[in-house]
Structure 1
Amino acid sequence: MRKAKLQAATLGGNPDDIEAAFYDALRQGDIERLMACWADEEEIVCVHPGGPRLIGAGAIRATFEAMFANGTVQAHPTQVHKVESLASAMHHLLERVEVLGPDGPQTAYVLATNVYHKTPQGWRMVAHHASPGTPNAPAEVSSSPSTLH
């Protein structure tokens, strides 16, 4: 645990840095770096596609360790939309996930929401929620006008 605390202290200073570190650790299968992205709070939460709600670092760590036992997760964040304030940030994004299927490499897409809080240790993830994937990038619907006048 001390190693994770040391690595957490060396993470960057904004939600974008933590998000980049999280996805890099996911792709590398590095559980210590991945857990260093999370806040040191009892109520952190993670929901994997089609899975139960995981509350607390122990439950979250165990699930990622089980994933990494089967290989790394090649998830690449795209189409990131952000809502940020002084002490919290929410990133809603599309994860492009590369998987090795029976017919070779395939791509799936997962909608995900990552929530970050500014803690005494700096910005840290407090929630990761991902919906079940689709074989194609889902269409995006927005109430914002596509052309500004």
Structure 2
Amino acid sequence: MKDIEELNEAFYNAIESADLDKMSEIWVEDVADRVAMCVHPGWPMLSGRSEVLRSWALIMANTPYIQFVLTDVQTTVVGDVAIVTCAENILTAADTDEPGFAAGRVVATNTFLRTPAGWRLWLHHGSPVLQGDDDDEEEEP
């Protein structure tokens, strides 16, 4: 299980360092019975290694800074499939004219497949966690 969790960390490190070569090493090769799939928050499902890697290239090219702090990491292995669920606590450059940062939270499921080349990422699915404003919360009487 340690090797899967290390590969999961390498996945996030590749995003943080905008290392598309490392990202390419992590994702499974497309074969008839196993096609890479990815769902970024707010995006439609992407299917096929080339489409998935193209999406990461776009994200990396358009994200000047991103950092992930993973929490609630849970790993399950059943045969040749491993599932890692986690919360991605994300800090990124703010999308404004003023310098600064923005934070968000995404829950993710990363599914890995054991291949002859070792464990490879097969599916990444990220779903945003809606953040409520403190001012919007109702106060109890």
- TM-score bracket for the superposition, by shorter chain length: 0.7 to 0.9
CA RMSD of aligned residues (A): 1.8
Q: Contact 1:107–1:135 (CA<8 Å) still a contact in 2?
A: no
Q: How many residues align?
A: 124
Match of 1:29 among 15, 18, 24: 18
Once residues 69 and 47 of structure 2 are traced to their aligned partners in structure 1, the CA distance between those partners, rounded to angstroms, is: 24
How much has 1:40 moved relative to structure 2? 1.0
Q: Contact 1:98–1:105 (CA<8 Å) still a contact in 2?
A: yes
Q: Which runs of 5+ in 1 are unaligned?
A: 1-12, 137-149
Match of 1:108 among 104, 108, 111: 104
Q: Deviations over 1:62-121 (max 9, x none)?
A: 111111111353223221122212311111110011022236212210010000111000
Partner of 2:115: 119
Q: Deviations over 1:115-138 (max 9, x none)?
A: 0111000011100000124447xx
Matched, 1:63 2:55: yes
Give the secondary-structure state (helix, strand or coil) at the position aligned to 2:46.
Answer: strand
Q: Contact 1:49–1:133 (CA<8 Å) still a contact in 2?
A: no
Once residues 66 and 37 of structure 2 are traced to their aligned partners in structure 1, the CA distance between those partners, rounded to angstroms, is: 19
Tell me the percent identity.
28
Match of 1:131 among 124, 127, 138: 127
Partner of 1:83: 76
Q: Which runs of 5+ in 2 are unaligned?
A: 133-141
Larger radius of gyration: 2
* Length-normalised TM-score, structure 1: 0.76
Once residues 69 and 44 of structure 2 are traced to their aligned partners in structure 1, the CA distance between those partners, rounded to angstroms, is: 23
Q: Contact 2:66–2:93 (CA<8 Å) still a contact in 1?
A: no
Once residues 60 and 75 of structure 2 are traced to their aligned partners in structure 1, the CA distance between those partners, rounded to angstroms, is: 28
